[in-house]
Structure 1
Amino acid sequence: MSTAKHFHHAHHFDSAEHQYDASKQGIWLFLVTEILMFGALFVGYTIYHSLHPEIFHAGSHHLSVPMGAFNTVVLLFSSFTMALGIHFVQVDKKKEAIIALAVTVLCAFTFMVVKYFEYSAKIHHGLLPGKFFVNTEMADIKNAAMFFGFYFVMTGIHGSHVLIGAGLIIWVMIKVIKGEVNSSYYTPVEGVGLFWHVVDLIWIYLFPLLYLVG
């Protein structure tokens, strides 16, 4: 017998369908602002890359393509497990949903552990933005710190979104465990899933722009 709780829409909505549609519109509007923010960074990257291609080519050689590729696979797999989690919630497979969401969180933390090692290597070699750049190998390249300014800003903002996404997925997991999210009400897990897919999509653009540009 299903233990799913029945969902009652909020009083200011005409029906559950009305609340669902309004929630989805709100989520999409929020995601548009996220895309606009990263879009501005991509535009800035494109402009400076066109003006100083040699800086970006040289800088990218100091990034670990295997680490970047590994993280790409991790996030792509996490999108799959997130989609599975949403599906299992929609069909009231509580145990399977929790497992799929937990694996997604594990992927998020795996991604961040890899970023930690990447950042540590950059800091150790003085590959930092602005006045903190002290790498001797690129000392003969004027404004070499520019590339690493883009690298740390773009991957740093993206990494913060990965952590926020992991926190939201954990929040959804708790609601699934409590029976507050189920086949009759799955808007939270769908919304978090959309956010997670956008975070993954942004990385798919970041990986070639930063790691493969050279």
Structure 2
Amino acid sequence: MSTIPVTREVSEAPWTLPSRGIVGMACLILAESAIFIIFVVAYVYYIGKSLSGPTPKQVLELPIVATICLLSSSITAHAAVSSLRKDRVSACTAWLGATIFLALVFLFYTAKEWYELIYHYGLTIRTNLFGTTFYSLVGLHATHVVVGLIMLTVALIAGLRKAMNEHHAEKLEVLSLYWHFVDAVWVVVFTVVYVLGR
């Protein structure tokens, strides 16, 4: 009695665990999303309920330049990761520099807006419900931009010191995920505060 050998062809690639950094960042983004949702809901709930002025329509202008800069910084952050994957450290460093520059421009416009609101219109966090919810929501986002900016600066310094190579691309990708999240949150904040809230 003869036996027929049976061979099993493996058509699927072996399953590997996802990156701990990416999983960790995904969990952080989920937690941060919940916090932002609470602040956005509070802002929406209190729209038009301030008993005194100024109102959003009286003082807010569309931050077009700041928005373009921040959203563009997602493109430059992605370009930095792509460059590092190809071991083009100089290009990665240049893209990181561009990302940081765009983020600083965004923060400059935010600071300018707050200066005008406080000193020209007298709108502080204690003025009315609009002031409280506005500074809480926009301030929370600005804080996340600052945190991202610090991390991007650390990456830039590593690139300038030639302490970064293609093996660090995954870590930079984790950082870029955070930055994309910050940009995505701004789209929501921009829509709720500056478009619907006016």
TM-score by length of 2: 0.83
> Corresponding residue for 1:204?
187
Whole-angstrom distance in 2 between the partners of 1:155 and 1:200: 13
Q: How does 1:111-150 map to 2 (within 5 A)?
A: 111-124=106-119, 125-130=121-126, 133=127, 145-150=128-133
Deviation of 1:85 after TM superposition, in Å, equals: 0.4
Match of 2:90 among 87, 95, 105: 95
Q: 1:116 to 1:53 in 2, by over 3 A?
A: closer
> Corresponding residue for 1:58?
55
- Report which of the two structures shows the higher radius of gyration computed on alpha carbons: 2
Q: Deviations over 1:54-102 (max 9, x none)?
A: 989932331121xx11111011110110000010011111111000000
SS at match of 1:181: coil
- Which moved further from structure 2: 55-64 or 202-211? 55-64
Whole-angstrom distance in 2 between the partners of 1:39 and 1:156: 14
> Corresponding residue for 2:4?
none
Deviation of 1:178 after TM superposition, in Å, equals: 4.1
Q: 1:58 to 1:29 in 2, by over 3 A?
A: same
> Corresponding residue for 2:25?
27
User: What are structure 1's unaligned runs of at least 5 residues?
Assistant: 1-16, 134-144
Deviation of 1:122 after TM superposition, in Å, equals: 0.9
Whole-angstrom distance in 2 between the partners of 1:56 and 1:25: 45
CA RMSD across the alignment:
2.2
Q: How does 1:152-171 map to 2 (within 5 A)?
A: 152-171=135-154
SS at match of 1:105: helix
Whole-angstrom distance in 2 between the partners of 1:83 and 1:54: 45
Q: Is the 8 A contact 1:101 1:169 kept in 2?
A: yes
User: What are structure 2's unaligned runs of at least 5 residues?
Assistant: 1-15
Whole-angstrom distance in 2 between the partners of 1:54 and 1:207: 24
TM-score by length of 1: 0.77
Q: Deviations over 1:107-138 (max 9, x none)?
A: 111111111111111111211122xx2xxxxx
**Which letter does structure 2 place at the counterpart of 1:35?**
S
How many matched pairs? Answer: 181
1:77 partnered with 2:69: no
SS at match of 2:134: helix
Q: Is the 8 A contact 2:49 2:129 kept in 1?
A: no
Deviation of 1:22 after TM superposition, in Å, equals: 1.6
What is the percentage of aligned positions where both structures have the same residue? Answer: 22
Whole-angstrom distance in 1 between the partners of 2:168 and 2:53: 47
Whole-angstrom distance in 2 between the partners of 1:203 and 1:60: 19
Q: Is the 8 A contact 2:83 2:89 kept in 1?
A: yes
> Corresponding residue for 2:45?
47
Deviation of 1:174 after TM superposition, in Å, equals: 2.4
Match of 1:191 among 174, 177, 184: 174
**Which letter does structure 2 place at the counterpart of 1:22?**
R
